[in-house]
Structure 1
């Protein structure tokens, strides 16, 4: 163990900020006025520090094997510095490995498993999420039109950005796939006059949004259903569809079927906006250095990342034509840091909300998750893409004549003006 400690001491000396380790016996290694102090309770953590296995270190923190004194922002600077290499570098896999990946993805994403996985995350506690999300509880990347925006203002800007891209009009039938706590659903109904339907697999979100609908008197024009996207009725197509922060839960092997389902739910000439997290690397389905395993175990079971190039491929296979693509990666880094800062500022309230030993583990997991994801977006290891699409033209009309049934304008100024 002394040789491992020697490796750790060498690493500490090369870090961009000062770190002190305090051993179980009270021995201190590093500067006494360090920016970050790690209070080691289990010496097995030292081997993970030496190897730069930050995902395993995250697990050790959740399990109480060490504590942290210092800011999460400084801790993430340390984490990025000790990585042995890029967490998005992945060797190209052979056909057998790719087949095994596909079979595992299919197995992980049955209707029943997806429901359990979504409820594991989103039904943790509405009160907990309310502590660090904006008042609308928009749990996806915000859009900072101005640098001085608060996260609440930037979330409203994001909701409006989506509605503008979809060119929503009063009376149109609008579907929100994975509607969360109803932020986009309500914004579209109240500001654009659409007839709005949302779906979720979260029981808490379903109950919350239906309370909002009743409070706002929107019954008859807005509805929220507890429903898997695969069970949506295709007999009455929608004019516009949004899917925000949802397709990450679909699974790589199901993406073609997912996009094909959305296409069948859309009228000819309608528009789809898919907003979701994408992989920074072309071939990796999760972050390396154990970060993907950490998220799978504690945060998003069943989540799978896909590079934007593969997303566009699956969209095309599903019968959709991409029209506009925007990468909001830096916006998500800022959003996540805002969430992380908000949670850090209210840790006592969070502990009161998530009570007991399991509650403490969940809180520690979310502290690492929010700050770690902010770091990931800052470094470009993960990204966030909005893709506007339409059903692929099937012939018959001359597109140069801009047929009346075609929803997509030829120019982008309607989005940004």
Structure 2
């Protein structure tokens, strides 16, 4: 089998980038001894996946311990680019693939399955996430407003950027859908004086945020609920709504219902901001070369991406009016590299934290998956294969007869100066 994979020359694997060295199952060495990236194989099947450019399957072999990977993650990702057989955005767009994704979406996003999928990711270990996130544990794209910002500074800049876009005012009723570890919820309450409600499906996050609310003495006007967005009552609308890093879990088939729910929860004239990952291609639902399947299996089960054009279409169907859209794709690439570098610097601590929760074998598997996930996602944003959009929308106001008011229909002003002052 080795000869069939290495035609013509026993020391050369056809198409092998010079940055990569290989150790084959029988001990043969290929590539330069000082190559920055080294792959050590225990099975020929993994080599076949390498030759075929099946990056996702190769990543799965690494997570499962079937091959060993040595090298800095930035070097690994530079080498990975040269292994891809084509553009991963364009390789997952066939009609059969689209039909398969729709069928999968129909069954993947029930109330029970969404709760399970969220807990699969976010309840891995709070202590693990604390090792490589900023002190507020903001687990979404930061906003590097100024050159030289640290991750913590850029995350605070992002929180404030969202609050400014929403034009939060003291006393307003504010809802944060998918509140995470409470970064935006508490920032809005402490810096803008709003009455804030957050919801999450993560039991760990819910407990963490409740402790922060109690410690800060904010219980009179800040609350966190363990609740699905579909179960929120609609009797008392909110003045402003945010959804950050959550709608990727909604599913294509539920997108109209999701934005319809946001519309009904929002007071007439109110503003809603949706911050989430979008597909880089118009037609693909995930990355090809097996990368999307890898993310779905080990990191975000049930996650689905839509192109921004499709997102705006679903938003318009709900009756919301898009008033501002901003692409923060380069910011997310930098955010993910900051996360990746932080994790790489504390691998031993991360391994110990994860092992304390579920044993060393589980810890090693999770750690390998997250190393690839963070660095691979950083590369994907840098290449434009995926993007991150903040979309600000308004619910048009009505007059006393229930008719839409023409002209200025919301609190949104006639220019963007308020966002950047």
Q: Is the shorter-chain TM-score for this pair beyond 0.5, marking a shared fold?
A: yes
With over 3 angstroms needed to count, the CA separation of the structure-2 counterparts of 1:64 and 1:280, relative to structure 1, is: same
Find the counterpart in structure 2 of residue 408 from structure 1. Answer: 412
- The answer to which of 350-359 and 300-309 deviates more is 350-359
Find the counterpart in structure 2 of residue 361 from structure 1. Answer: 365
Q: How does 1:31-180 map to 2 (within 5 A)?
A: 31-90=32-91, 93-94=94-95, 101-180=101-180
- The answer to which of 40-49 and 151-160 deviates more is 40-49
Shift of 1:354: 1.1
Return the alpha-carbon distance in structure 1 between the equivalents of residues 100 and 246 of structure 2. Answer: 24
Answer yes or no: is 1:389 the counterpart of 2:393.
yes
CA contact (8 A) 2:333 2:381 kept: yes
Find the counterpart in structure 1 of residue 382 from structure 2. Answer: 378
Return the alpha-carbon distance in structure 2 between the equivalents of residues 193 and 370 of structure 1. Answer: 35
User: Per the alignment, in what secondary structure is the counterpart of residue 184 of structure 2?
Assistant: helix
Q: Deviations over 1:397-417 (max 9, x none)?
A: 332xx46xx211111000012
Answer yes or no: is 1:279 the counterpart of 2:279.
yes
- The answer to which of 100-109 and 372-381 deviates more is 100-109
With over 3 angstroms needed to count, the CA separation of the structure-2 counterparts of 1:130 and 1:33, relative to structure 1, is: same
User: Per the alignment, in what secondary structure is the counterpart of residue 389 of structure 1?
Assistant: strand
Tell me how large the CA RMSD over aligned residues is.
1.5
With over 3 angstroms needed to count, the CA separation of the structure-2 counterparts of 1:199 and 1:278, relative to structure 1, is: same
Q: Could you tell me the TM-score, scaled by structure 2's length?
A: 0.94
Shift of 1:187: 0.4
Return the alpha-carbon distance in structure 2 between the equivalents of residues 388 and 249 of structure 1. Answer: 19
CA contact (8 A) 2:199 2:225 kept: yes
Return the alpha-carbon distance in structure 1 between the equivalents of residues 180 and 211 of structure 2. Answer: 13
Answer yes or no: is 1:398 the counterpart of 2:406.
yes
User: Per the alignment, in what secondary structure is the counterpart of residue 214 of structure 1?
Assistant: helix
Shift of 1:313: 0.3
Find the counterpart in structure 1 of residue 343 from structure 2. Answer: 343
CA contact (8 A) 1:4 1:46 kept: no
When the two structures are aligned, how many residues end up with a matched partner? 409
CA contact (8 A) 1:299 1:365 kept: yes
Shift of 1:45: 1.1
Return the alpha-carbon distance in structure 2 between the equivalents of residues 204 and 109 of structure 1. Answer: 21
Question: Structure 1: which 5+ residue stretches go unaligned?
Answer: none
Return the alpha-carbon distance in structure 1 between the equivalents of residues 205 and 343 of structure 2. Answer: 20
CA contact (8 A) 1:175 1:196 kept: yes
Find the counterpart in structure 2 of residue 206 from structure 1. Answer: 206
Shift of 1:37: 1.2
Q: Could you tell me the TM-score, scaled by structure 1's length?
A: 0.95
Shift of 1:97: 6.9
Q: Deviations over 1:47-81 (max 9, x none)?
A: 11101111011101001111111100110111111
Q: Deviations over 1:179-221 (max 9, x none)?
A: 0000000100000000000000000000000000001110111
Find the counterpart in structure 1 of residue 270 from structure 2. Answer: 270
Runs of 4+ in 1 over 6 A off after TM superposition: none
Answer yes or no: is 1:22 the counterpart of 2:23.
yes
User: Per the alignment, in what secondary structure is the counterpart of residue 89 of structure 1?
Assistant: coil
Shift of 1:392: 4.1
